[in-house]
Amino acid sequence: MYDCCHVPAHITQTHFTGSYRHAAHLDGAFTRNHLLYLRAAGKLAVARDGMRVATWKQAADGTISPRLGYPVPSFYCEGGRILSLDETGGDLVSGTLMDGRSGVFRLGPGRISHVSENDGLMGIQNGRTGAVVYLRENLPFDSVLSQVILPAVPRAHALHRDARVFGLPDGGALIVEPFDDTVYRYELGACGVSDWQPLGLPKDYRLVGMGKWYGMVVIGIDAKKEGGAIQFLGPAAKDMPFRRTDIRGHLEHLWCSPSGLGLAWLENLEVQGKPCRRLYVNHRLIFEGAFAMNAFGLAWSADGKSAGALVRLLDAGETEVLHLIGEHGPAFSVTPKNSVHEFTVDNHGRVAAWIEDNKQFHRVFWRGRFLESHPQAWNLGIVEQGIAYNGVHADVLLRIEGSPH
């Protein structure tokens, strides 16, 4: 079906017109499980543009080096991982160099920076400006048990085991961290730490979420008795006035968009003696009822002003059904027993596309219409002519862009 070429090839199908590009040739035919392993193990990484692909290359002496499109140093074979290709300051790779240095490195044409001596990966969150990488320290009796690597910060930042990190659009982060008997919040960015001050949570309240919205720091809090609230405040240096929005029930989740222009939250309350949840986007109610969703069930539009959600409902037969909803436009039901791998929302707040996982294939949909299947498909996005995503056919990694009709 697909020709291995770097020139865009035209696709004409019943419901889809567009092109595909050969992003990379994968050595050997890959099964779905093998692809999942390669991506999870940091052996295969794809940038958000879908065309820049990195894999490991093994030399005759047994050393390995990442294929990044520029000369790179050699690593020992064991433990090498490609963490991120989307760093503004360089690509993130972990492993042990031949000179004995180990940990996490930022690589670029003609440069290498040793970001951390620690490579105990805990997790990665990919954002618009790069990846936020969490590392685990092997110091069980030390209060500083973790590190975080931020796109805008040259070196890894040590954290208390109970610290929480909320990434920001500029590649920095808001951090909440306990010191002695006081919990502080501060901002960490390219210029270091700023806006350091006590968080000042009322007694018995817990922190739900934190971010920035139109330059204001937004803090979501909740308590068992009093319920939830959202606090709006500016940096201490600007002395901006404090605002607060009280929640009728309990605050379950709080989200700020990567652009800093969108704010959403989920509240849980009782209506006429029955449990009810309400989802708000920019202070506007977009969905309510007996449903559930998790912290990863919200997707922002490209401009960060609109959002959609993946929610779980019970049908008349008490069977759980997944629905995709947006601020505007129709809602869509997910194929029974399938899960949703990714979904996108357009700038008008409508659900545009999603990828379903049926445990055998990833199936790509556009506004409720099935387009095609791949052993794996990811990197879903909206482009001028429609949608774009990466898919795999045999041993070829493709970037597919087109206009469904």
Q: How far apart are CA 104 and CA 381, in angstroms?
A: 29
Give the model's confidence band at 242: pLDDT under 50 very low, under 70 low, under 90 confident, else very high.
low
Say if residue 38's pLDDT is above 90.
Answer: no
pLDDT at residue 12 in the model: 62
Token pair 């989740």: residue: 253
Q: What pLDDT digit, counting tens, does each position of 68-114 carry?
A: 888 999 999 888 999 999 766 789 999 999 999 999 999 999 889 99
Read off the pTM: 0.88
Q: How far apart are CA 302 and CA 280, in angstroms?
A: 18
Say if residue 235's pLDDT is above 50.
Answer: yes
Token pair 């969905």: residue: 287
pLDDT at residue 4 in the model: 43
Q: What is the mean pLDDT of residues 38-48?
A: 89
Q: How far apart are CA 159 and CA 177, in angstroms?
A: 7
Q: How far apart are CA 239 and CA 114, in angstroms?
A: 38
Greatest Cα pair distance in the chain: 71
